[in-house]
């Protein structure tokens, strides 16, 4: 994947300390720190991970990790464990090397195989675990995008950073090592966290062969909607508005054909996508990620986190799409 030739700078004026773990402020209800990363190569080998501090004890992190293979096999695990200095636990850890520019992700532990049907029809059952080791070097592909938080919808974060990234490293599954050389996206936010108020959300991103990329985020609530979007290229970051998108209608991540239309400062850009492989997660207590879809709890919010092959004006790209909904919306047919 050829990326635009850019020099990553700190022209945003961000404090380098903001790319590390923060101390939770006293007296703020439901405060949490969360990161979400997704990286993959052109063939479909990918790793996605979400890490967040526990609401009732921020010394603990809840962590979900999924690995996708090109043949569609998905391996996943969940960890709840004490922190290890930076993000996550000792055996599932993201370390900032150079703020906003370089990071390292490591994991060593067990993962279960999860079929798409399993992920869509219930919480992921315990099963035989494969030994999995992940060692990834990550670097910025573009400067930090700051979509900003929202005083009305606090769960999107009072502090919110997103950034396209490059990845190089290895994923070893049951003794077989796979080389991962690709692209991805990261998200880092702090603030009050309660995703139970969400009705729907759409969070997508991608990078194309010539190097340009995009990112979108949309949250729908009974009281209104919150949206941000941007396009990244060698000329910089361009604010955009998402004017059309394909909502989730089923627990198995359908429809699998996706269209995103952006208005980029008056110019219309249509991006089509095809869902590849991924994993469902259910949010417990408005913050903690659990593997699978908890159909027994229609009051909970669930997410389909899947890698995507994108096309735009004849050019190919790769990326990621997180579409979610309140479980009751789909069980009641209110799609």
DSSP string, 233-254: ETTEEEEEEEEE-----STT--
DSSP code for 145? B
Average confidence (pLDDT) per 10 residues, the chain, 335 residues: 46 82 91 97 98 96 99 98 97 98 98 97 97 99 80 56 97 99 96 89 97 96 90 94 97 98 98 98 97 97 99 98 97 61
pLDDT of residue 333: 54
pLDDT of residue 148: 63
- 117 forms beta bridges with none
pLDDT of residue 185: 98
Beta pairing class for 257-264 and 267-284: antiparallel
pLDDT of residue 101: 96
Burial (0-12, 13-18, 19+ Cβ within 10 Å), 318: buried
pTM above 0.75, yes or no: yes
pLDDT of residue 208: 98
Domain extents for the chain? 30-331
Asked whether the beta carbons of 140 and 4 are under 8 A apart, the reply is no
pLDDT of residue 133: 99
pLDDT of residue 197: 85
Separation of alpha carbons 37 and 32, rounded Å: 17
pLDDT of residue 150: 46
Separation of alpha carbons 131 and 133, rounded Å: 7
pLDDT of residue 319: 98
pLDDT of residue 37: 99
């Amino acid at each position: 994947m050829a990326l635009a030739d850019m020099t990553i700078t700190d022209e945003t004026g961000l404090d380098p300390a903001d790319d590390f773990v923060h101390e939770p402020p006293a007296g703020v209800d439901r405060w949490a720190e969360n990161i979400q990363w997704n990286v993959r190569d052109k063939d479909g080998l990918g790793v996605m991970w979400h890490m967040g501090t526990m609401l009732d004890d921020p010394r603990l992190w809840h962590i979900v990790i999924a690995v996708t293979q090109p043949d569609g096999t998905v391996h996943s695990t969940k960890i709840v464990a004490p922190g290890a200095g930076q993000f996550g636990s000792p055996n599932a850890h993201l370390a900032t090397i150079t703020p906003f520019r370089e990071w390292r992700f490591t994991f060593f532990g067990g993962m279960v195989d999860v079929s798409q049907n399993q992920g869509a029809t219930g919480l992921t059952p315990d099963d035989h675990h494969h030994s999995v080791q992940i060692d990834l070097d990550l670097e910025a592909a573009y400067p930090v995008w700051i979509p900003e938080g929202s005083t009305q919808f606090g769960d999107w974060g009072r502090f919110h950073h997103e950034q396209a990234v490059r990845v190089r490293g290895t994923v070893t599954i049951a003794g077989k090592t796979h080389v991962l050389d690709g692209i991805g996206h990261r998200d880092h936010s702090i603030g009050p966290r309660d995703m139970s108020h969400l009705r729907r959300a759409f969070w997508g991103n991608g990078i194309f062969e010539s190097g340009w990329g995009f990112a979108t985020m949309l949250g729908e609530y009974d009281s209104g909607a919150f949206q941000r979007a941007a396009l990244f290229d060698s000329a910089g970051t361009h604010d955009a508005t998402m004017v059309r998108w394909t909502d989730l209608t089923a627990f198995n991540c359908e429809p699998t054909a996706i269209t995103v239309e952006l208005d980029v400062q008056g110019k219309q850009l249509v991006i089509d996508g095809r869902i590849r492989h991924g994993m469902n997660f259910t949010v417990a207590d408005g913050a903690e990620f659990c593997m699978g879809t908890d159909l027994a709890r229609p009051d909970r919010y669930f997410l389909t986190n899947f890698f995507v092959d994108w096309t735009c004006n004849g050019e190919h790209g790769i990326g990621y799409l997180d579409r979610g909904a309140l479980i009751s919306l789909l069980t009641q047919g209110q799609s």
